[in-house]
A and B are shown apart, each in its own frame.
Chain A
Amino acid sequence: MLAHIVRRIMATIPVMAIVALFVFSLLYIAPGDPAAVIAGDQASPEDVEKIRKGLGLDRPFLVRFGEWSWQLVHGDLGTSMFTGLPVTTLIAQRLEPTLSLMIVTLLLSVTIAVPMGVIAAWRAGTWIDRGLMAFAVLGFSVPVFVVGYVLAYVFALELDWLPVQGYTPLSRGFVPWLENLVLPAVALGCVYSALIARITRASMLEVLQQDYIRTARSKGMGQRGILFVHALKNAAIPIVTVIGIGVALLIGGAVVTESVFAIPGLGRLTVDAILRRDYPVIQGIVLLFSFVYVLVNLVIDVLYTLLDPRIRY
């Protein structure tokens, strides 16, 4: 088992290398010049060229890629072209808000969606089922920013229950931290919950058809017992899988949510960096996200063995 985990980790290295090469190449061939943006509107073409040289943007591809890879291996993600700060610092500053948002969204969504899916499966075919699933599909279909704006308008501006925007670090208190995250988490969580609810329902339905469930029922086991002791445990694998896949969705959705709710997180950092062509930052963040995604899926693979004793690597 340990050997398998190690093998899995080793397998991520070529994946990450491909991502790194892909991202770097993309940015290399990109039009759009950070030097021009830095120089500002009133600069002359000669000034722009001098700034380019100062940033080292005029060197050939292999040299720049080689240098970057070398730094990477030493844990140095490079320095932002615009702020002069190390990319690792920029990421560290923005990590807490995005991580907080993602964790709160994840917990909120799973807490709501799994029971929703279970109930829908239990009462399959009835109006409860159709209603819940219609709700779920709706969660999928409305864009995140529309939900965000509506929530902000109703709960923050009109009812004044929660703040409109911003992020309060956890060190300033749990309640303020949570207050700032409720609306964004709900907005972001709509899509995520919808996904989880549907998969939960589908996989529960599948399990509920099984013979051993019928046996348990005929033995007189209560409904709740059946649902939670037998069915859910067996249905867990696809659910956990989709939670893992959904992390990519969360990362993407975080970009929009952070924009609407002015949360100083990684999503906004990425969009800003992309629009400004701050190459080192873009490369660093995309690598980071990929790494997180790969890591999450690894954790899920490990969780499989806990959930299903039949799976052994």
Chain B
Amino acid sequence: MTVQSATLVVPPGIAIAAPTAEVLPPVKVRRGLFGFIYRYPTIAFGGALLIVMLLIAILAPYLGTVDPTALAPAKRTRSPSADFWFGTDMFGRDIYSRVVYGTRVSLTVGLSVAVLASLSGLIVGLISGFVRWTDGIIMRIMDGMMSIPPILLAITLMALTRASVGNVITAITIAEFPRVARLVRGVVLTLREQPYVDAAVAAGTRAPTILLRHILPNTLAPMTVQATYICASAMIVEAILSFIGAGTPPTTPSWGNIMAEGRALWQVKPFIVFFPAVFLSITVLAVNLLGDGLRDMLDPRMAKRL
């Protein structure tokens, strides 16, 4: 079957095939904010939740809260009501206020640990990977520290010092940074063999410059992803430490704290454990999603698939 085209003169005996239907629809690349959400739903969702939590933490005094440490033993363990949106705990303190203020503590712990562990792990990993003769010793020490289960390490460290937010952060950081160090060291070792690094060395670039300009930027992506997981893990570890009784002091409300105090009563007054558990789970979920999304975004091989 021949088709007459407007401009084409078709010699006899040659058939031009009919235009086939589009097999693949054209990819509509959406731009702007909605485009971003469409392409990276996990980052969007996780990020949005995290921002909400941050806002709650920052704006805590303005969100209809009262002093979270104000005791009123005469009003203890009241169920949620109009006066006390989340009820009261064993000392008569308003749980809603404690949970809202607890956001500050948990986020502080999570973010601080993530930042501190990343920084210290980065430094140790860079040194270990780049300065060959330190590698063996440092990695043995890191192995040693990693082989002690992190919860046990944190409990021991907390039992050595007094309960305070600062000490909780220190304890969890010490437990987490070896993993970052290992990660960074692995990246450095791979990169060290790259030709461009060799070239830089041959050109006489000094070590710190090589580190900063060539190696460091390549560690940032996996480190950022790892940092988000550390943040999530730190928040859970804080909750567990408080559960055991070795976490933040009771005068500072944190979600782990509130749950630990309410754990004995969960059968009769489940709301004491319920609300902080929900907040904790949502926040950790958000951070994990963010981490997943970042990993998908930063790793080009994965990005193709969604």
Contact = CB atoms under 8 A, between A and B. Distances in A.
Q: Say whether A associates with B.
A: yes
Contacts of B306: 124-125
Contacts of B245: 275
A255 B153 CA distance: 12
A131 interface: no
Contacts of B51: none
24 contacts: A15-B140, A15-B147, A19-B144, A19-B145, A19-B148, A23-B148, A23-B156, A32-B160, A137-B289, A138-B281, A140-B288, A142-B277, A143-B243, A143-B259, A145-B240, A145-B243, A146-B259, A146-B273, A209-B301, A251-B149, A256-B243, A274-B156, A290-B148, A294-B143
A289 B285 contact: no
B197 interface: no
Chain A interface, >50% SS class: helix
A143 B232 contact: no
Interface of B: 140-141, 143-152, 155-157, 159-161, 232, 236, 239-240, 243-246, 256, 259, 263, 266-267, 273, 277, 280-282, 284-285, 288-289, 292, 301-302, 305-306
Interface in A252-306: 252-253, 255-256, 259, 270-271, 274-275, 277, 282, 286, 289-290, 293-294
A235 B236 CA distance: 29
Contacts, number: 137
| Among A16, A146, A149, A248, residue most surrounded by chain B Cβ atoms (within 10 Å) | A146
B128 to A, nearest CB: 15
Given A15-B140, A252-B149, 16 more contacts: A16-B144, A22-B144, A26-B156, A26-B157, A29-B160, A30-B160, A143-B243, A143-B259, A143-B277, A143-B280, A146-B277, A248-B146, A251-B151, A255-B155, A290-B148, A293-B149
A205 B273 contact: no
Contact of B148 (A140, A141, A143, A289): A289
Interface of A: 14-16, 18-19, 22-23, 26-27, 29-32, 124-125, 133, 137-138, 140-146, 149, 153, 157, 205-206, 209, 248-249, 251-253, 255-256, 259, 270-271, 274-275, 277, 282, 286, 289-290, 293-294
Contacts of A32: 159-160
B254 to A, nearest CB: 12
Contacts of A26: 156-157, 160
Contacts of B289: 137
Contacts of A14: 140
A248 B281 contact: no
Contacts of A19: 144-145, 147-148
A15 B144 contact: yes
Given A30-B159, A125-B306, A274-B155, A143 B236 contact: yes
